[in-house]
Amino acid sequence: MLFDNPDRAVAPAFAALGFTSTTLAEDATIPTTAPAPTAPDVPGPGSLGYVFPQRLENPYSLQWNVSLERATGEHGSFVFSCVGASGHDLLLPQRRQISSPTMPIQEVVTFPSGYSSRFDSLQLAYRGQYHSRLSWTTSLVWGHTLDFEGLNPWSAPTRGNADTDVRHNLQAALSWTLPERGTRGFVHNALSGWGIDGRYFLRSSYPVTVFGNLFHDPATGERFYTGADSFPGGRSTCLTVHFPVAGC
């Protein structure tokens, strides 16, 4: 069990109403004639307030793994592993517009509860060795990651595949120690102790996040992506395959 703290999520509150005041002037000349900011504790039309729950829980995650290993001879073994993690009480700030004309501010940031994440993985690995000079290992990993994300701070985050959701990952490595040459002297020192290592991996691509249009809020000066809307009959396909090989 791993615990986090909410400091990173709540820190922007100390730069909002009650602490700082900002006046934005677009297309202004220098020196500017824009009015000076009001007092930090005086709400204005563009003021942003923060509303915290009475009890702000610390985010935490539960992580677990189970492995079974079986020998396949004198110099080989097969490993089967299940790895998982589950995040709870995640902090995802959301904005809410207040339409009441009697309220001194028009926007507040809230921290609703109920957000979580999930990771599940199955891992297969085989390790082998031939005498003492040649050894290899191969692993195949299937994983699936789910979490919440919202590009637009005014819309509720949706649960779906995470940006780091890589479903398939195949890796293989080989190490070969070259035989020694000579018994002593220069030839032995120059040609002995060398080895060749190689690594190969193949994985599925990361998900493609469609950000949509970049929106500028003239009241606060903030910029954020609005996300993309789907349309009936639309279809897109993305496939990325990597074939890097490293050796020396």
Ranges of H-type helices in the chain: 7-10, 185-191
Tens digits of residue pLDDT in 106-121: 788 888 888 899 999 9
Indicate the number of domains in the chain: 1
DSSP annotation of 220 reads: T
Is pLDDT above 90 for 82? yes
Tens digits of residue pLDDT in 37-79: 677 777 766 677 888 888 888 899 999 999 999 998 888 899 9
* Structural domain that includes position 10: 2-25+35-247
Residue 34 pLDDT = 67
Q: Which of 97, 222, 82 is nearest to 154 (CA)?
A: 97
**Does residue 53 have a cis bond before it (omega within 30 degrees)?**
no
Query: What six digits make up the tokens of 179?
Result: 């035989």
Residue 211 covered by a domain: yes
φ/ψ of 10, rounded to 5, equals -95, -10
Residue 63 pLDDT = 95
* C-alpha span between 214 and 224 (Å, rounded): 6
Mean pLDDT, range 209-215, rounded to an integer = 72
Query: What six digits make up the tokens of 23?
Result: 């006046």
Residue 7 covered by a domain: yes
Residue 30 covered by a domain: no
| Residues 6 or more apart in contact with residue 235 via CB below 8 angstroms | none
* C-alpha span between 173 and 87 (Å, rounded): 33
Residue 94 covered by a domain: yes
Is pLDDT above 80 for 228? no
CB atoms within 10 A of CB 66: 9
What is the residue-wise DSSP string for 115-149?
--EEEEEEEEEEEEEETTTEEEEEEEEEEEEEEEE
Q: Which residues pair with 179 in a beta bridge?
A: none
Tens digits of residue pLDDT in 134-143: 899 999 999 9
The answer to whether 86 touches 61, Cβ cutoff 8 Å, is yes
Q: Which amino acid belongs to residue 127?
A: R
